């Protein structure tokens, strides 16, 4: 009786699922390669594989050309779609009302949303600034009551400063009145209600201990309105100065013309006297000169 070389019970039969598993592994490896370098897997016979290897180079070149054309078409389509989308968005933005558009800077770039927050600041007016108090000192006195923004103090007039220096006054800057911006209007209202007509306090022997606050809250006024008002006042002052300068130039020109006319008349009279002519003739000559200049 012949012995069995193989144990049929211990051998594992190959199933269709195992074959499918091998096929799936080969397909996954094929997918991992670039599209231009894929090879067709054929398990029918070795002859077919040899034929495919022979014609592989031609297939690669053909696939490369097709892939390049497809990539170019894809790129052109993507650029065209992006340009079309951008043009559509710009058209929609232009059709929006002005109130819904984003504010822009001078460079044309849109401001971030954080800078478009509602302005909740408040402004107070100081009708009198203690002598020689600087903006830094004023800020240090008002900071405990709230966050202080911008400060503007009106300096004394240049003529008044010159006169004060001539009289032996100090060269330190003197401010007359000013405006202070608080980042929150509730702080500005609190300062105006509680500090007005009160002493500044501080150290007993300090310079500002006995000075009195003169504060008023400006309702509905923002720092932009204040700057605009100051710019308008400066423009009016500049226009007034230009008018005065033009008027002065006109008066000076008329005065110089009269002086020149007088010199001409006096010269004519002197020459007539030398020649022995009458003064009446000189007066007639002067009248003739005036008539010619008037014409």
Sheet containing 175-182, strands listed edge to edge, beginning at the edge strand earlier in sequence? 148-155, 175-182, 122-126, 215-218
Bridge partners of 155, per DSSP, are: 175
- 191 and 129 fall within a common domain: yes
Residue 5 belongs to a domain? no
Last residue of one domain, picked from the residues 192, 221, 250: 221
| DSSP track, 2-34 | PPPSS-TTTSPPP-HHHHHHHHHHHHHHHHHS-
- 213 and 123 fall within a common domain: yes
3-state helix, strand, coil in the chain (%, to 5): 60, 10, 30
Closest to 133 in 3D by CA, of 180, 175, 70, 98: 175
Tell me the C-alpha distance between 78 and 69, whole Å. 14
The domain tally of the chain equals 2
Backbone angles phi, psi at 4, to 5 degrees: -85, 125
| 295 residues of the chain, pLDDT tens digit each | 455 555 554 444 444 444 444 455 455 545 544 444 444 444 444 545 555 545 555 554 555 555 555 655 665 555 566 677 777 667 766 766 665 555 554 444 544 545 446 788 999 999 999 998 999 999 999 999 999 999 999 998 888 889 989 988 888 889 999 999 999 999 999 999 999 999 988 788 888 888 999 999 999 889 888 888 778 888 888 898 899 999 999 999 999 999 998 889 888 888 888 887 555 555 566 665 566 555 5
Contacts of 103 (CB under 8 A, 6+ apart): 110, 111, 116
Tell me the C-alpha distance between 19 and 86, whole Å. 52
- 178 and 138 fall within a common domain: yes
Contact, 151 vs 181, CB < 8 A? Answer: yes
> Range of 281's domain?
234-294
Where is 54: in which H helix or E strand?
A: helix 46-54
Contact, 264 vs 232, CB < 8 A? Answer: no
Residue 20 belongs to a domain? no
Tell me the C-alpha distance between 200 and 179, whole Å. 17
Structure token digits, residue 118: 């509602």
Residue 81 belongs to a domain? no
Contact, 27 vs 43, CB < 8 A? Answer: no
B/e letters for 250-280, b = 16+ CB within 10 Å, e = fewer, are eeeeeeeeeeeeeeebeebbeebeeeeeeee
- 241 and 270 fall within a common domain: yes
Residue 3 belongs to a domain? no
Q: Quick one: pLDDT at residue 29?
A: 47
Residue 285 belongs to a domain? yes
């Amino acid at each position: 009786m012949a012995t069995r070389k193989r144990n049929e019970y211990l051998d594992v039969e190959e199933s269709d699922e195992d074959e499918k598993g091998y096929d799936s592994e080969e397909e996954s490896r094929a997918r991992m390669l670039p599209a231009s370098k894929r090879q067709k897997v054929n398990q029918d016979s070795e002859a077919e594989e040899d034929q495919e290897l022979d014609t592989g180079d031609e297939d690669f070149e053909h696939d490369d050309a097709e892939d390049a054309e497809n990539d170019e078409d894809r790129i052109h389509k993507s650029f065209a779609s992006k340009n079309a989308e951008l043009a559509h968005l710009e058209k929609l933005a232009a059709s929006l009302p002005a109130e819904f558009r984003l504010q822009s800077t001078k460079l044309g770039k849109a401001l971030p949303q954080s800078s478009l927050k509602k302005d909740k600041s408040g402004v107070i007016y100081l009708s009198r600034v203690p002598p020689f108090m600087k903006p830094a000192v004023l800020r240090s006195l008002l900071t405990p009551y709230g966050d202080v923004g911008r400060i503007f103090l009106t300096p004394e007039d240049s003529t008044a400063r010159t006169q004060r220096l001539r009289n032996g006054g100090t060269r330190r800057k003197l401010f007359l009145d000013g405006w202070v911006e608080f980042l929150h209007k509730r702080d500005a209202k609190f300062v105006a209600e509680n500090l007005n007509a009160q002493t500044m306090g501080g150290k007993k022997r300090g310079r500002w201990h006995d000075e009195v606050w003169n504060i008023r809250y400006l309702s509905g006024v923002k720092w932009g309105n204040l700057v605009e008002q100051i710019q308008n006042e400066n423009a009016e002052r500049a226009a007034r100065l230009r008018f005065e300068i033009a008027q002065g130039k006109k008066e000076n020109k008329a005065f110089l013309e009269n002086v020149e006319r007088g010199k001409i008349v006096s010269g004519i009279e002197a020459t007539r006297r030398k020649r022995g002519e009458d003064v009446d003739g000189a007066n007639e000559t002067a009248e003739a000169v005036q008539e010619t200049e008037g014409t």
